[in-house]
Structure 1
Amino acid sequence: MHLHRSAPESASPATVTPRVRASWRRSARYGLTAEEMRPVFTGSVDTGSLLYECGTAVLRGLQATLANEPVSMMITDPEGLVLSRICEDGTINRSLDRVHLAPGFYFAEENAGTNGLGLALADRAPSLVKAEEHYCAGLRGYTCAAAPVLDPVSGGVAGSVNLTTWSDSASELLLALAQSAAGNTTALMLARGAGRSAQPMPRGEVFRVYADRMRAPEASVLTPGWRNVFAEARSEFRAGRAVAVVGEPGVGKTALASLARRQLRRERVLSVRPPAPDDVEAWLELWTPELGKDSTCVIISGVDRLPAWATGELAERLGEVRARDGMQPYVLTAESAEDMPEELRRLVDTVAEVPALRFRPDDVQPLARHFARQRRRRDVGFSTSAIRTLTSYDWPDNVRQLRQVVREAAGRTDLIDLNHLPPEVFTGPGRPLTRLEAVERDEIIRCLTEPGTTVGEAARELGVSRATIYRKMSQYRITVPGRAPRT
């Protein structure tokens, strides 16, 4: 198998995993050599973050079990910046200082080539890099095991746990320890971060949508905020160009791309979501054979969340299809063009951006009526107060959140009023609430949204004074039509 000439000479290709080999190729593209690393120093490290607090606490607990072992334990941020390093072995500490694997230095792949924490962050997966598998010679005296720390709320990568020891030390348990520490850090972040629910991990689903089973898009779907970007995407598809649709999570990127494609051609659409890191190989084999088939378009969602080695594999397969097909049979989606991996960005001719729902208040009412009609298969009414509440809310999770709220409400009534809406839509942006605070807020909103209930009646039902209700409304940023908090 051919390797880039700058790859480590002493590592046998037969014993190197595809992920490490892909990392070598990336390291070469970054302009690194075996003799040169470029760890960048920053004068500021965020020691007040929840990641730093929880990660350091977990590693100090682990240190007690590894007191006599030459293992250096580190927490990094998602960019590879080393935030903390815990180790009582002076010899390995001094050695790591010489290669700049220390707090305040960036140690991502682009800075230090193939290494454990850089690979864990790039691929969003636990990684073990031993001795000669390191791209740069200065790191080949070490073995590094690292695992990404997942944000318990967003599910994204918050940073990593890295354990480094000498290359001739036993490393069998090192990766398991790193994974355990990363998992414990996520759990501690959830416990200390107001108890919010964790997001589900990616599963890599592949959905099929057949054009002949879909009706033409309804006018209510093509809301004012969508029309310009929809027309732009459809024009680019008609011209045979490869399109990326970008925007915040939940704005409807996949839906827009699918509707625009189906207006042009009666084709099958495959919607592909990012997989868990361990499932990348099976995920690619599942759907990439469909690329380039007649009357088939693949929408690959969230390419900015793909592991780095999967990005390279995907870019190669899309490049082959692009070279032979006239009309590009794929669409990519991401949060922004800047977040798209460069290998995939080169395979896109134009970028269409879908604005967030908070910038499209005129879209909220027609979308809400559309989702309610989908749920009940007939028109559902909305009170004036309900429409006012839905329109004034910021919708941090965008159209996806609006659809869930409306469908749940429409499932219970033919006329949606304030008391059918969840507490979240009456609450302005602010700090995360503890579970006790959230229960208190929800009870206040439940009372205030009962038809005909006054603030005084809500106060009596809750056993508190009117002044307390007004103070709590201000504290929790509660806005209920007709129940304005006192200032």
Structure 2
Amino acid sequence: MPRHQPGNSLRAARELYLEATNDPSARPLVVASWQRSIEYKVESGSLDAPYLDNPNLDSPLARAALPILDTLHEQLADDPVSTMITDRNGVVLSRKVSHDGLTTHLNRVRLAPGHVFAERYVGTNGIGTALASGRPVVIAGRQHYVEELREFHCAAVPILHPTRSTLLGAFNLTTIRQGSDGMLMAFARSVAAQIEAEIAAITSRRERALFQDYMEACSSARPGPVLALNRDLVMMNEQLSAAVTGPDHYALLDHAREIADHPRLEGTRSIALPSGRVAELRVSRCRREDSDAGAVFRVRLIGRAQPSSVVSAPPDRSNLGLVGSSPHWLRAVADSETAFVAGTWLHLLGEAGVGKRTLVEAMHRAHGAGRRLEIREAPLSDSPAVTERWLHDIEELLVVPSNVLLLRDVHLLGDHLRHRLTNLLVRRDGGATGQLVMTSQPSMVSADDGLDQLCGALVEVPALRHRFGDAEHLARFFLRKYRPSGESGFSPDALTMLQRCPWPENVRQLESVIRGLARRPSGRMIHAEELPPECRASSNKVLTTIEALERDAILRGLMDRNSNVQRTAQDLGISRATMYRKMRRYGIVPSSLT
């Protein structure tokens, strides 16, 4: 087969398709898929379907589809037809086949659970082409791009979420028996419709369960403000909608969604709102269906909203000299400082990069005269010799009453070492001992953690995305720090973009961005177009190095091409559908790039 370079036109793909298949009908959908396969540099002479360990069988799609596939398997006994369900990335989640001969054929081409059959890897095929085009497709025989797949006839139908209409995955029928493609497609459409109906039923049951819990909360003797939500639904009573408006409204929903996403988080949690008030949330999980049913929040508002002039232009330093003035941040600093001065053992919870160590060092500078700050982390090895030395070191440091021991990232400790550390601290607690400060990430700590209960004070350090307005203060501070001899300033559009960025790696990430900007010539304003690509994405997800490189390539391409998605996709060698999926994944909005 002649080789065609990526970037060739649709006409070139059609010529290649005709040359390989001798099919004069050349359906546009299939030809377009061949063009994408060429752009992906898929080798037609070899099959490369990557394997993914432990595909997610706990998704709404899998829970709805697997019982239906089991029923079909019984109905199609000894019929040489295979039924499959895949996720939206083309990963085969389940395969049912009762014909030994077909099983052998499928295994030979790795069309089995865990393998990825997206077009990017295996070119034109039923699963990948249905997902890429968003349309039901039949890919028969030589219409497959990779030669090893050309003995198969496949009918695949995309499966959409019933309310959001987002792509969840695909249902696929595969056979080696030639016959009516129309019958194959009719069967595939029918099964896909059953799966979508079951997803809708599960969603409806979940929402009805949440609604029932919400109504019970609203109809209690003293209901007060009530909020209920899951990934698809938000409900609040009139008391809450009237009491919480503007930035407080969005901040409350933001915090509540994060809490609802962690099924183990229950009890009472307090959050600081932009107005200066505190919202106390009493969290109840909806257990009528499953952990995905959502959560109900009974809300109690504490304090009064500060005047807008105070909220919009507060001082940018705490009493410890730390930058930031959002109510949530100032409360965390004040609570930590009170515990530290009293000598109370303190546990600081917070995402990576929020400034937990910086806070401890600031408190030690201000209140640690004559006291020594010792910092230790989890041992790098689980070997008995290493852990014994580490525990002995911790005990020796705590013997000295004048020591302040900062034990960082205790969530990284293994269960056995964590248990031994807890026993060691129980022995030291109450006697002459140094002060202990521990840090960890909140999602890693269970409610019944014995190590956590040893601390007299537990303070949550807020993520930067919850510190409304502090991104601007921090950006100015870091620019003065890394460009001390030059003017420091940002244009209004640059400040808007900095404040809108979710900063998944928190203050650490913001400092890194400003440090890079400070290397440029001083004495002039920094504008939005000078900010790096990561400031233009709205996803809270912490990316791997490869994902960050991919995100930045997409962002730069869009900026260079005036937000033209199709041109950028062509230049990057990916389909437009893939481009849109990646933009959604990375939180890239074209309107924010111009």
Calculate the TM-score normalised by the size of structure 1.
0.46
Q: Which structure has the larger Rg over C-alpha atoms?
A: 2
The structure with higher relative contact order (CA 8 Å, sep 6+) is 1
